[in-house]
Chain A
């Protein structure tokens, strides 16, 4: 993932907000990145653009050698499905689906995973994250930490190269936080690119690279 001069401006009635200003950086597979900064500095905006769920005003974003602006809606969706796993502070789980069904959701459109294997993979992932006995629960029957782990399992469903997380531990206690960071660390060791936005200082024990961001700009490392 290479960001080249990325700019994001929110055009408001009264004044325009420059959420990102001249962002240049790249993210490699096999490494664990932490993005830190004050509230409102543009961390979420940055990671959303990286995860292809937000648009940017100008600049060039290249992912796996492809220029994002030149991709069609279908190709973008395909990239999201195969290459990107996203985890949110607010979880964004489908309330009508059980935990294992939420995890299956990204697999339903992945033709490389056989129909019969989807459920098995889903259960395996949930077990890996210590949720063997929560598979049949609906999101409203799960605790915050459990929901976040379901979210993580969903992000991993299609075995993506990039795992992006926006304050994944914001609503969790220390124990759950450590568990999430540890798991992400393991994944980065397996060759995935992990990018985490966080306010938590213990991230420094896990991450390879810390990117500090302030007022939409990357500070010196």
Chain B
């Protein structure tokens, strides 16, 4: 039988009740598995970010009110220290940028000092080389987020711009240090903010520039001194920011510092269990649904073939060979499965896009994370499942074809 004839034959039989039930169940199972994989992928990414790529886990803050030159030497004598800088670089500053004003949206960026050139991955243009340069995110949203009672903080996704578009532009950053003038900067490059999970408005400038514009005092919780009717006490930044070369060495260095009598602690905290659980749960769900899928799909295919036994008998009486019948049946299953997968994928994709409307989900910014599964993974799942289903189908069908033709017909 040629393909066109075969497809015509299948078309006549595909709308049977069993096939429709089969399709619906397949769609359901595929959606569950795609969603679970998406969740696993997201949390693997987050785990990677929070644990592996997270610089704050390799950062030790040493806070001593009276920090001397001698202390500085002491710290530098410890091995495995990659960076030892002033505490002011542990802060950030923000600046309104009127060049970015757009209708109701007020231009605003967050500014960080670039402690090491390797901290960011440049996408367009160059890394920082000179004073007066700035690097913006590739996905850039240089606005103060809107506040809306219904939605909370919200990003208008159509306003996210490609950082590349503003390469070469210059603008002024407001200096929070009264002693210095505003700083004129030129955009020289864009960086990959997504893998750093940075806010979409975060730009980097050199350490020396940062020191010019940053607020020179540590912001300490306000307390009100009623006797003197005074509000705030401000200290200059005291202590050091230390970065360790590898995560494994952090605790070793920390102990050494504490033994030396410093008030030292690790800058970042992370709940490893949280991510492990968030990965484990969907993995378990996938395994359960895979097992269920195999059981359910097997029983449906069994019922389906039992239901079709009379037609199998008719084909055999007409002189169809087993291989011809197998080809027919597998072709039908292939078409049903492919159709179900396509529908399941469309539904899954729509669900993802609905989810993307909500900016915050727990701790992370959905805007920064690509929830979509890679197309390679999707096609991999498609083929693995296809193989599984065809295999089950083949096994059940072969059993049926061993029965005498007359018994198939009598069914």
Interface residues as binary, B1-35 with A (CB distance below 8 Å gives 1, 0 otherwise): 11001000100110010000000000000000000
The answer to whether A86 touches B317 (Cβ under 8 A) is yes
Residues 139-167 of chain B, each 1 if its beta carbon lies under 8 Å from chain A, else 0 = 00000000000000000000000000000
* Contact A108–B5 (Cβ < 8 Å): yes
| CA A82 to CA B12, docked complex, whole Å | 25
Question: With a CB–CB cut-off of 8 A, which chain A residues contact B177?
Answer: none
Residues of A within 8 A of B318 (CB): 80-81, 105-106, 109, 154
**B321: A residues at CB distance < 8 A:** 73-74, 77-78, 109
What 0/1 pattern do residues 314 to 332 of B give for CB contact below 8 A with A?
A: 1111111111100000000
Q: Is the CB of B314 within 8 A of A105?
A: yes
* A97 touches B (CB below 8 Å): yes
Across the interface, A77 reaches (CB within 8 A) one of B12, B13, B314, B322, namely B322
Instruction: Give complex CA distance A51, B324 in Å.
Output: 20
Contact partners of A52 in chain B: CB under 8 A: 405
A146 interface contact, C-beta 8 A: no
CB distance from A43 to the nearest CB of B (A): 13
Q: Are A77 and B317 in contact (CB under 8 A)?
A: no
Chain A residues within an 8 Å CB radius of B313: 92
Chain B residues with CB under 8 A of A108:
1, 5, 9
B69 within 8 A of A: no
Is A141 in the interface zone, CB < 8 Å from B? Answer: no
- Is there contact, CB below 8 Å, between B319 and A81? yes
A55 to B319, CA, bound (A): 16
Instruction: Verify if A96 is at the interface (C-beta below 8 Å from B).
Output: yes
Q: Mark B63-101, 1 if CB is under 8 A from A, else 0.
A: 000000000000000000000000000000000000000
B350 at interface, CB cutoff 8 A: no
B319 near A54: Cβ-Cβ < 8 Å: no
What's the tally of chain A residues with a CB closer than 8 Å to chain B? 32
Q: Which residues of B contact A74 (CB under 8 A)?
A: 321, 323
Min CB–CB distance B329 → chain A (angstroms): 14
Is B310's beta carbon under 8 Å from chain A?
yes
Minimal beta-carbon separation of B160 from chain A (angstroms): 53
B345 to chain A, nearest CB (A): 29
Most chain A beta carbons < 10 A, residue from B5, B314, B323: B314
Number of A-B contacts (CB under 8 A): 71
For window 37-81 of chain A, which residues contact chain B by CB distance below 8 Å?
48, 51-55, 73-74, 77-81
**What's the Cα separation between A94 and B10 when bound, in Å?**
13
Report whether A97 and B409 are in contact in the complex, using a CB–CB cutoff of 8 Å. no
Residue B248 lies at the interface, judged by CB distance under 8 Å to chain A: no
Which of the residues B1, B13, B16, B409 comes within 8 Å of A92, measured between beta carbons?
A: B409
Residues of B within 8 A of A79 (CB): 319
Write out the residue numbers on chain B whose beta carbons fall within 8 Å of the beta carbon of A54: 404-406
Contact indicator A53/B316 (Cβ below 8 Å): yes
CB-defined contacts of B16 to chain A, threshold 8 Å: 96
CB distance from A69 to the nearest CB of B (A): 15
B255 on the interface (CB 8 Å rule)?
Answer: no
**Residues in B neighbouring A90, C-beta threshold 8 A:** 409
Binary CB contact string for chain A from 144 to 157 against chain B (1 if under 8 A, 0 otherwise): 00000000001000
B315 to chain A, nearest CB (A): 7
Which residues 19-43 of A have a CB within 8 angstroms of B?
A: none
User: Would you list which residues of chain A between 128 and 155 have a CB under 8 Å from chain B?
Assistant: 154
Q: State whether the Cβ of B353 lies closer than 8 Å to any Cβ in chain A.
A: no
- Asked whether any CB of chain A lies closer than 8 Å to the CB of B116, the reply is no
Residues of B within 8 Å of A154, CB to CB, are 318
B320 to chain A, nearest CB (A): 6
Kindly list chain B residues whose C-beta atoms are within 8 Å of the C-beta of A206.
none
- Encode contact with A along B383-409: 1 for CB under 8 Å, 0 otherwise: 000000000000000000000111001
For the complex formed, measure the closest distance between the CB of A163 and the CB atoms of chain B, giving whole angstroms.
Answer: 13
Specify the chain B residue showing the minimal Cβ separation from A79.
B319
Given contact pairs A53-B316, A74-B321, enumerate 16 new A-B contacts (beta carbons under 8 Å).
A51-B317, A52-B405, A53-B405, A53-B409, A54-B404, A77-B316, A77-B320, A81-B319, A86-B317, A90-B409, A96-B13, A101-B12, A105-B315, A108-B9, A109-B319, A115-B2
Q: Please list 27 pairs of residues, one from A and one from B, whose beta carbons are closer than 8 Å in the complex, sorted by A's number.
A: A53-B316, A54-B404, A54-B405, A54-B406, A55-B404, A73-B321, A74-B321, A78-B319, A81-B318, A82-B319, A88-B409, A90-B409, A92-B310, A92-B313, A92-B317, A96-B13, A96-B311, A105-B315, A106-B318, A106-B319, A108-B1, A108-B5, A109-B1, A109-B318, A109-B319, A109-B320, A115-B5
List 9 A-B pairs, minimum CB-CB distance, nearest first: A81-B319, A53-B405, A106-B318, A80-B319, A77-B321, A54-B406, A96-B12, A53-B406, A48-B406
| A interface list, Cβ under 8 A from B | 48, 51-55, 73-74, 77-82, 84, 86, 88, 90, 92-94, 96-97, 101, 105-106, 108-110, 115, 154, 158
Interface residues in chain B, defined as those with a beta carbon under 8 Å from any beta carbon in chain A: 1-2, 5, 9, 12-13, 16, 310-311, 313-324, 404-406, 409
